[in-house]
A and B are shown apart, each in its own frame.
Chain A
């Protein structure tokens, strides 16, 4: 990239809803959503594991879909509804999922955890009673090196049961 090109890029203004609150911010059009969330907005819960969309640690929810924030440009968030782990943690349904993860032993080092939670939340939002195979599909983009996934899958099953037992409408 020529040096002056780097300098010349004008910042753009974007507005979106982040964890339920309106946000407006000037961003460099080449900045990733991950960098904006972490470094500009201070939401450190979302992690960077690879920077190329392979590990899923940076998963966030945009308009109810899970995306890799490392591969998403910040301007693409404009006008969207964005949720990170911090927002998930503030919702009763999110808390049910967190509780299930803790109790089944689904958290070891915890670096993949925020991304896993986002994928789990998004799954249960669209499919409150998923089959085990559907859970596996939903988190297959989130790599975990510690747990062997078993207790994470168990956690999502358990959260699904809790949420349907409560007939929870908060999702």
Chain B
């Protein structure tokens, strides 16, 4: 039992909404994003990019460009000192095209100029001659034997199979079977900061790169390979990063600025235009999904048969992760004993698709949540009831046969939004006759961390001689607030103010790898690494304090800057004194933490395994008004319940929910990147504040025993249920369903007309 004085001394930073670190410098306009960095003698880079979908490069003529005023060089693949290959999973990308281009926008040459206009002008003078090759844009066509071959090994990226039970027999025994086909579109991340990087060679000969990135330690490895440099000769420092959502996991400008700085031996800067950020960075994978579900009369799910075909475009990026994740999450947060799932992705000549907030789960959730409503309708059940009846719970098995032991909050999230659903059902607002009101519900589960592979994080916590604490983490904070959360975790363990912790973040020269800021993994995985490091330091502090205070270790407690004896609170040792004792006795002042989630790989034949150590769960209820004359959908309210294990920073969690819901609304209603047509923000619309509904964020905390103070993650889950909830609401309003995202004006109007006719 904690004594009163102990309670008084307890700060408990975990669970408090500290202002997100970095807010103030951003508000003052002082945060130096890459585009804001100025250095003496800085040169500017512009890329020369493919204007063909698929072609052999016959020649690249740089003569005119090189003689243009202010041109400092034109670099092609021949100028790359190392291996001209990179890619986050498959090394199938070329920094600069060698003999062929595989999509429009493929980089062919990099032009350096004294000024940006000099570089732009010279880039226009680079002449590329092509020999066109046949192209393929449909992933199914791309997998046919006679399809044009995009890569030497063909167009097959990979597949993931999950088989269990006897699906055929289960379908025969089902009272209701629903089979539908769904499609989703390419989606652009549309972070507001276009990709940017700055590089220079420092006085020790280290190629130092400031990057707008989610993944500095991965960047380091690929840049080293491209430049044939040892890891000690390259340093990646994450600059303030203006949003990422998955696309800044890829190497975008880092390789270009690294190469040019290395060759020119002067600082260089490259900032993508918005058009370049649209054309040349990853997109959300468009999926084609065939989904067959069977259930008994009382609404128990019996079987699912799911075929997923994905278009990864010209390069893999995170494609294989999306292949796996879409299959593993195809059941949604429900227990289905009989499964036959296959996800298969192909290369095409489209722009590359890669990671985007959810790695395929938002797409597959659209399908499984539409199926749930169709089953409910066929069985005359409430959509809420059928979800509750099939929800995973402690002791359930996931699609991959993983037994769930704790923190299965799905039913709690459904129960949390149920009152909103029921109230909406009972009290439909009075609307004009051409407006139809509808309510929809949708749920999801999301595995925290990478799928069935090791994805450790490391961190260090250091006691300085002045008694202060420094936290080192390689985790890139891209605005979601991971740095704040990691500091809160360390501060909780040391019982101190997180604002008093000095931070060294996402700098490969000073931090070790925390892995990527992706897969909603930084709170859980890097949070645990930070906690591990902090516990080690605390252990040593307590040991030395016990010795100095001549009292047992078990009586030692921490308060800001001190370790004290809980039975005699005046008897205490300062961190500064302890640091000095530790130095004298040869005790390390800096401790390292490590965490790798407990997972096993998925069996390649059956798909069985334990791909994640824990899952987040969520349920959203959407209320909409559909204009049957224009097809316009107004989302009135989204009530969003998220099981996050423990909200380390509740305002951060709510921030993720608000942002996720609005991004989900864009995915549901308006966002479609049409390759070859979409160029910029003038023809790609994301939600503005005029489009947003009332959002009711509901935090559910189903404690995760392996999480730092019980926490899991929320970044991607925030977005996932929104689109299916909105689509289910539209279907409720119109009595006819839309099977392709986005549900834009044309599709909604078509559905409205269809419903009037029937």
Residues of A with Cβ closer than 8 Å to B? 38, 42-52, 54-55, 57, 84-86, 89, 98, 101-105, 107-114, 117, 136-137, 139-153
Which chain B residues in 1-55 approach chain A with CB under 8 Å?
A: 17, 19-20, 22-33, 35-36, 38
Chain B interface: which size bin? 35 or more
| Residues of the B chain whose Cβ atoms lie less than 8 Å from the Cβ of A55 | 192, 274, 681
User: Cβ of A108 and Cβ of B192 under 8 Å apart?
Assistant: no
User: Do A146 and B659 touch across chains, with their CB atoms under 8 A apart?
Assistant: yes
Instruction: Determine if A147 and B192 form an interchain contact, defined as CB atoms under 8 angstroms apart.
Output: no
Complex Cα distance A153/B26, Å? Answer: 17
Which residue, B22, B194, B273, has most C-beta atoms of chain A within 10 A? B194
Of the candidates B22, B27, B30, B480, which one forms a contact with A101 in the assembled complex, judged by CB atoms under 8 Å apart?
Answer: B27
Q: Are the C-beta atoms of B241 and A109 separated by less than 8 Å?
A: yes
Q: Is the CB of B662 within 8 A of A148?
A: yes
The chain A residue sitting closest to B36, CB to CB, is: A44
In the complex, whether B695 has a CB less than 8 A from a CB of chain A is yes
Please name all residues of chain B whose beta carbon is closer than 8 Å to the beta carbon of A153 when the two chains form the complex: 689
A107, closest chain B residue (CB):
B23
Q: How far is the CA of A102 from the CA of B651 in the complex (A)?
A: 11
Docked-complex contact A147 and B655, CB < 8 angstroms: yes
Residue of B at shortest CB range from A139? B689
A96 to chain B, nearest CB (A): 11
**CA distance in complex: A68, B30 (Å):** 20
B661–A112 touching, CB < 8 Å: no
Q: Is the CB of B689 within 8 A of A152?
A: yes
Digitize B456-481: 1 where CB-to-A-CB distance is under 8 Å, 0 elsewhere: 00000000000000000000001111
* B68: nearest chain-A partner, CB-CB: A3
B245 at interface, CB cutoff 8 A: yes
A117-B660 in contact given A51-B274, A57-B192, A109-B191 (Cβ < 8 Å): no
Check if B690 is an interface residue, CB within 8 A of chain A.
Answer: yes
Task: Evaluate contact between A149 and B692: CB separation under 8 angstroms.
Answer: yes
Selected A-B contacts with CB under 8 Å, 10 pairs: A43-B29, A102-B27, A108-B481, A109-B193, A109-B242, A140-B688, A143-B686, A143-B688, A146-B243, A148-B658
Q: A51-B273, A109-B242, A111-B33 are in contact. Are A149 and B26 (CB under 8 A)?
A: no
Interface residue B113 (Cβ < 8 Å from any Cβ of A)? no
Contact status of A105 and B20, CB under 8 A, knowing A51-B273, A148-B661:
yes
By beta carbon, the residue of chain B nearest A110 is: B26
Residues of the B chain whose Cβ atoms lie less than 8 Å from the Cβ of A84: 29
Query: Is the CB–CB distance between A145 and B655 below 8 Å?
Result: no
Contacts of B749 on A, CB cut-off 8 Å?
A: none
Give CA–CA (A144, B655) in the complex, Å.
12
For A152, the chain B residues whose CB sits under 8 A away are 689
User: Which A residues are CB-close (under 8 A) to B661?
Assistant: 148
- Chain A residues in 8 Å Cβ range of B22: 107, 110
B426 contact set on A, CB distance < 8 A: none
From residue A30, how far is it (CB to closest CB) to chain B in Å?
A: 10
Asked whether, in the complex, the Cβ of B689 is within 8 Å of the Cβ of A108, the reply is no
B190 at the interface (CB under 8 A from A): yes
Q: Which residues of B line the A interface, CB within 8 A?
A: 17, 19-20, 22-33, 35-36, 38, 189-194, 240-243, 245, 273-274, 478-481, 651-652, 654-655, 657-663, 680-682, 686, 688-690, 692, 695
Given A49-B193, A50-B680, A140-B690, residue A145 in contact with residue B243 (CB < 8 A): yes
User: A137 CA to B691 CA in the complex, in Å?
Assistant: 11
Supplied contacts A55-B681, A98-B28, A150-B658, 17 more A-B pairs, CB within 8 Å: A44-B32, A47-B193, A50-B680, A52-B274, A54-B681, A104-B651, A109-B240, A110-B23, A110-B242, A140-B689, A143-B686, A145-B191, A145-B663, A146-B655, A148-B657, A148-B659, A149-B688
Given A98-B27, A109-B242, CB of A136 within 8 Å of CB of B690:
yes
Return the chain A residue nearest B24 by Cβ. Answer: A102
Q: CB < 8 Å: which of A113, A141, A150 contacts B26?
A: A113
| CA–CA, A84 and B30, complex, Å | 12
Do B28 and A45 touch across chains, with their CB atoms under 8 A apart? yes
**B residues near A89, Cβ cutoff 8 Å:** 27-29
B689, A50: Cβ atoms closer than 8 Å: no
Question: In the complex, are the beta carbons of A49 and B274 less than 8 A apart?
Answer: yes
Q: How far is the CA of A146 from the CA of B478 in the complex (A)?
A: 10
Q: Which of chain B's residues have a CB closer than 8 A to the CB of A101?
A: 23, 27
Q: Which 4 A-B pairs have the closest CB atoms?
A: A45-B29, A110-B26, A109-B479, A111-B242
Contact A52 B692 (CB under 8 A): no
Contact A146 B274 (CB under 8 A): no
Q: Which residues of A contact B682 (CB under 8 A)?
A: 52, 54
Is there contact, CB below 8 Å, between B655 and A143? no
B479 in complex: contacting residue of A45, A110, A143, CB < 8 Å: A110
A146-B718 Cα distance, complex, nearest whole Å: 11
Question: Does the CB pair A85–B29 fall under 8 Å?
Answer: yes
- Knowing A109-B192, A111-B192, A136-B689 are in contact, say whether A149-B658 is a contact too (CB < 8 A): yes
What A residues does B689 contact at CB under 8 A? Answer: 136, 139-140, 142, 144, 149, 152-153
How distant is the Cα of A106 from the Cα of B24 in the complex, in angstroms?
A: 11
A110 to chain B, nearest CB (A): 3
CB pair A50 B274 closer than 8 Å: yes
Task: Give the residue of B659, B688, B692 whose beta carbon is less than 8 angstroms from that of A108.
Answer: B659
- A89–B192 Cα distance when bound, in Å, is 22
Which residue of chain A lies nearest to B659 when distances are taken between CB atoms in the complex?
Answer: A148
User: Pick the contact of A52 from B243, B651, B681 — CB < 8 Å?
Assistant: B681
A49 to B680: give the CA distance in the assembly, Å: 11
Residue among B26, B32, B660, B663 with max Cβ neighbours from chain A (10 Å): B26
Name the B residues within 8 Å of A117 (CB-CB).
Answer: 27
Q: Which of A85, A111, A140, A141 contacts B193 (CB 8 A)?
A: A111
Q: Closest residue to B117 on the A side, CB-wise?
A: A6
CA distance A47 to B23 in the complex (A): 16
A65 CA to B31 CA, complexed, in Å: 25
Asked whether A85 lies within 8 Å of B659 as measured between CB atoms, the reply is: no
CB-CB < 8 A to B31: which residues of A? 110
Chain B residues lying within 8 Å of A137, measured Cβ to Cβ, are 690
Docked CA distance A20–B192 (Å): 29
CB-defined contacts of A110 to chain B, threshold 8 Å: 22-23, 25-27, 31, 240, 242, 479
Most central of B22, B28, B479 by chain A CB within 10 Å: B28
Residue of A nearest to B242 (CB): A111
Alpha-carbon gap, A48 to B23, bound state (A): 19
How distant is the Cα of A9 from the Cα of B101 in the complex, in angstroms?
Answer: 38
Measured in the bound complex, the distance between the Cα atoms of B686 and A117 in whole Å is 20
